[in-house]
Amino acid sequence: MLAAILALVVGTWNGNWFPSGRAEHRAHPDVEAATIAAAGKMLSDGLAAADPSGSEGVVIVLNEIRNREVAEALAARIGRPGLKLASISAYRRRDRFDQQQDAILTTLPVADSGWGRWQRGRESNPPRGYAFAAVVVSPAVTAQVYAVHLKSNYGATTKALADENRAKRTDAIDQFIALVKGAPRVVLAGDFNADRWRGEFAAETIFSSLDAAGYANLISLMPPNGRGTHPNRRYGDSALDYIMAKGMAAVGTPSLVPNAGLSDHFAVFARLEPAPIAAASGGGSAAPVSLQRRSSPKPRRKGRRPAGSRDSRRAPSRTP
């Protein structure tokens, strides 16, 4: 019988082409093994700070993970009893995202899992997609967890390119909201590549869309000078990594975990507990969401090109 979970600890971290730290590159096996061990300790320390008793359920969302073997090795190095790989994407080499997989680790039972690509459109082609896991928090509560990595602004040297990147982020979040519509408890986490509070992102609509859909932004609970998940000495720290929740309430304030030189992103951990279902779904009962594995949220029409971003055919020198 599943024990009751008082709170759920959710973490998210972008490993930056993990474990080599370079685009489309493999370091010496010993170097990569040491990197995985160091990252495991970093995330273990962050998890211990968020859950000193070690008794709560755990979900960790990861971005830019090379493959399943690396994700499983990292889970083992974190060392939390029962922590396992619940889901990982399988983005393709042809899209140049095969070493930027999204993954979900958890200690909880998994009722369903999978992954999908964002649907391509005429005006916007969001890169990558999502990994998904329905985790059983308690006998009465199942939460759907989505790991995402939205389009970055790297290379946006003109306003037109910045607008194009913003449109890709908007399209992805619009597709996500439609995909999980009616689900009472959802956690969305990962690298959004947008900062809700910086002026250069003033035209961003993804945060207001998630607000309107009932998602709480847990990063907003952190002090302004303590929520920079992407440190940058030249331009200032940015809050690019988020944990959003619907039907799950925050317990306390999320915390940042320094990256120990392993990535250009800090990890962030938050504690959640189930909110009353009436607050989560407006009082109505919601049907389970049907996951479309290894596909777009909507069926593609014949003749459409494979999913991926238009700029994905060019070898990226940093995170796309």
Lowest mean pLDDT among 77-86, 100-109, 308-317: 308-317
- Burial bucket for residue 185 (CB in 10 Å: 0-12, 13-18, 19+): buried
pLDDT tens profile 77-97: 999 999 999 999 999 877 678
The yes-or-no verdict on residue 288 having pLDDT over 70 is no
**DSSP secondary structure string, 263-290?**
-SS-EEEEEEEEPPHHHHHTTS--PPPP
Amino acid letter, 181: K
The token duo for 184 is 């009472």
Q: How far, in Å, CA of 9 to CA of 108, rounded?
A: 11
In the block, which residue shows the tokens 């290379």?
Answer: 155
Q: What's the pTM value of the predicted model, to 2 decimals?
A: 0.86
Does the pLDDT of residue 207 top 80, yes or no? Answer: yes
Tell me the angle at which helices 68-78 and 29-50 cross, rounded to the nearest 10 degrees: 50
Q: Grade residue 279 by pLDDT with cuts at 50, 70 and 90.
A: very low
**Phi-psi domain of 214 (left: phi exceeds 0; alpha: psi -120 through 50; beta: other):** left
* Cross-strand partners of 31: none
Nearest to 251 by CA among 13, 51, 26, 16: 51
Q: What is the mean pLDDT of the chain?
A: 86
Q: Give the integer Cα–Cα distance in Å for 180 and 186.
A: 8
Contacts of 230 (CB under 8 A, 6+ apart): 237, 238, 239, 240, 241, 264, 265, 266
Q: Among residues 199, 8, 186, which one has the least CA distance to residue 109?
A: 8
Domain ranges of the chain: 8-309
pLDDT at 137: 95
| HSE (side-chain half, CA atoms, 13 Å) at 291 | 18
In 3D space, the residue among 33, 34, 35, 61 whose CA is nearest the CA of residue 46 turns out to be: 61
Residue of 182, 191, 158 whose CA lies nearest to 263: 191
Residue 74's SS3 state is helix
**Other Cβ atoms closer than 10 A to 312:** 19
- Alpha-carbon distance values, 301 to 107, 116, 119, 190 (Å): 38, 16, 10, 29
3-state secondary structure of 105: strand
* pLDDT for position 122: 67
CA distance 70 to 290: 28
Q: Which two tokens stand for residue 47?
A: 């998890």
Tokens 């759907």 label which residue? 144
Its CATH class, for the domain covering 8-309, is: alpha beta
Quickly count: other Cβ atoms within 10 Å of residue 110's Cβ: 17
What pLDDT, in 10s, does the model give residues 234-274?
Answer: 778 999 999 999 999 999 999 999 998 999 999 999 999 99
Q: Whole-angstrom Cα distance, residue 128 to residue 98?
A: 9
Is pLDDT of 315 > 50?
no
